[in-house]
Amino acid sequence: MFPCKVGSAWEVVAPAKLNLYLDVLGGRPDGFHELETLMLPVRIYDSLRWTAASPEENGVAPALRIRNLLSGADAPQPDLGPGNLVLRAAESLARAAGIAPCGTFELIKRIPIQAGMGGGSSDAAAALLLANAAWGIGYSYERLASLAGELGSDIPFFLQSSAAICRGRGEQVEPVAGLPLLHFVVVKPPVGLSTAEVFSRWRRSSDQPATLRRETERIETGDRPLSKLIASLRHGALAESGIWMQNALESAAAELSPWINRLRQVFAECGCYAHGMTGSGSATFGVMRSARQARRTAQLLATRRLGTVLVTASC
């Protein structure tokens, strides 16, 4: 993400993400979960704009206006209150810099909510980058990443612009280069999923000690699906890469929503290289063979009342 100045305002676009691999290695003492995931930004964007306060608004806390372009009367709605991550990120940055936050943030929502596509986290990262530039603070990436990690697990990922392996709670970001352009169809069903509820169901249904033992064995033997996934992607072996894609939360999400299994079946019939749930759901993606196949598949799925159907590609 790169903020740019437009007249007296500042603007930035905030991409969505997809998880091509997600493993939950167990719980942590801080209440979070130890993760290992491969995430990549995709070309579905929210937009964030900052404008300076008018003279009569000086000294007033920053405002947030949201224009929601998401379709569906039953779709989850953005948080308009002080808990919105855009405002929290801006206020956190101002507090760290010892300045008063100011101005108005205008957010245009295009990334589906409760989809596992990182829209809220991406918006928060956008707010940090935007305010850092607009307010003339000039913090380094490392300083912003520290603030981002305090706000949310996925937010540090969005401060950089490439695919990355994320570990810890998700805040330990290791950029990954050399991946090919990938084409996707993404379906967000009418029902979203709460991240907290999915992890709670995972905790109840998983054998966490066994999970940790398997991960230790993988490290000792070198038999690591994530390494094999990245290698196959770099070599352009997209059909093979599907063997190594996995999401440890998918079974838990399927227990909470019948849409997960329904979308598994839909994509299994589409002739894509691979398919899977992103994040904690409820969106599911298919890795398509070409941009043309992605467009045709999306047109077909849009007639089946599956929810929001999106065509996109990796950034």
For the annotated catalytic residues, the residue numbers are: 17, 154
Burial class (CB in 10 A: 0-12, 13-18, 19+), 52: middle
Q: Reply yes or no: is the peptide bond before residue 232 cis, omega within 30 of 0.
A: no
Q: Within its chain, how far is the Cα of 215 from the centroid?
A: 24
Q: Can you tell me the distance from the alpha carbon of 266 to that of 281, in angstroms, rounded to the nearest whole number? A: 16
Q: Sign of dihedral through CA atoms 277, 278, 282, 284? A: negative
Which amino acid does the sequence have at 103?
A: G
Amino acid symbol at 178:
G
**Distances from the Cα of 36 to the Cα of 226, 227, 314, angstroms:** 9, 11, 20
